[in-house]
Structure 1
Amino acid sequence: MTQPRSRPAKLSGGERLLFLTDDQLRQGVELMFFAYRDMVADADRVLAERGYGRAHHRCLHFIWRRPGLSVAELLDILSVTKQSLNRVLRQLVRDGLVESRVGQADRRQRLLRLTPRGEELVRDLANAQNARMRRVFLEAGPEAVHGFKTVLAGMIDEGRRAAVLDLVEDRFPEGGKR
């Protein structure tokens, strides 16, 4: 019979290490896996009720945040293939959640925006995830939230980081306050 493994030391809030052990790094990676799993599960439940998945959620989110976004811009944001995006977009358009219009300046462009039904679904998805984020951010406090955002931003590939931060529109001002 194997003995239970001892639990790692409890996370401390003010740990300031110049050197991180492999166990500490592994713990951070595992926490990211579990946090992502539970964060997306909130939205997954709402999506599953309607027969959609995470790819639909990502499309809906960025179309909602940027009405009039072109398909080319959405491809760049999501870093997916045109084929996979078109499959998801066709379904969202067919189901009446997204409308696609020809661009005024460039008729080759397809500009995307949510319909009222699409906006309703996005609000349901956002409410599901915002409740978790609000609770956790309030419990953690402003300094921890600022640190969390700094860590997440630092994990984005350096070549794309500035563009992503501009996309997010929150440059994480000093002190973590907006």
Structure 2
Amino acid sequence: MADRGTANALVSGESLLFLTDEQLRRGIEAMFFAYRGFTADPDRILQNYAYGRAHHRAIHFINRSPGTTVNNLLDILGVTKQSLNRVLRALVDDGLVESRVGTRDKRERHLFLTDAGTALERELSDAQRSRMRAAYRAAGPEAVAGFRTVLEQMMDPDMRRHYQTTTESAS
């Protein structure tokens, strides 16, 4: 709670429209350290499978959009086809992802998590949800709404549209 008081004092004493380079630097560093914490638990879990963050991202987005195509996943992740194919090959070979031929277009591959893939996704997400839930509770609802707004404004417009479409369809 003391942190929220400190944050409120800083906000009330500083104009958010004219942040100094030092204030922005502190924000950038906070993002680095927060991301490090946010990925630490899943990274430990992924080590048991000899997987990395690319595998985690693929599993996450396949879970969010069962039946998504390889091309859609390429757009979301912004990686090369070769890189994604390496990741998907490992996930398919290990029985975590199933790749099905498209019904309308036989060239398309639709991706689904298997039961084992769903279990791994749940384990990875539970760790991150726990961390986020604790942070959100400590920060309070206004801070959570502001944080979400900041993250959305940092996204490239195409990614923001994709994110908004994904979150609307999940609601």
User: Structure 1-normalised TM-score?
Assistant: 0.86
Distance 1:93 1:24 in 2: 45
Matched residues, number: 162
1:98, 1:128 → 2: CA distance?
Answer: 21
Q: Tell me which of the two structures has the higher relative contact order, counting C-alpha pairs closer than 8 angstroms and 6 or more residues apart.
A: 2
Backbone CA RMSD of aligned residues? 1.7
- Percent of matched pairs sharing the same residue: 57
Give the alignment of 1:20-59 within 5 angstroms. 20-59=19-58
For residue 164 of structure 1, report the CA deviation from its aligned partner.
2.2
**SS class of match (2:24):** helix
Task: Give the partner amino acid of 1:91.
Answer: A
Give 2:140's aligned amino acid. Answer: G
> Residue in 1 aligned with 2:70?
71
Q: Take 1:54 and 1:163, find their aligned partners in 2: how far apart are those partners?
A: 21
Alpha-carbon distance in structure 2 between the residues aligned to 1:105 and 1:156: 33
1:95 aligns with 2:94: yes
Aligned amino acid, residue 84 of structure 1: S
- Compared with structure 1, are the counterparts of its residues 159 and 65 closer, same or farther at alpha carbon in structure 2 (3 Å cutoff)? closer
Alignment of 1:91-130 (within 5 A): 91-130=90-129
Q: Which runs of 4+ in 1 moved over 4 A?
A: none
For the residue of structure 2 that corresponds to 1:128, the secondary structure is: helix
Match of 1:142 in 2: 141
Which residue in the other structure is 2:163 paired with? 164
TM-superposition CA deviations, 1:31-68 (whole Å, max 9, x none)? 00000011011110111122111000000000011110
Tell me the secondary structure at the aligned position of residue 50 of structure 1.
coil
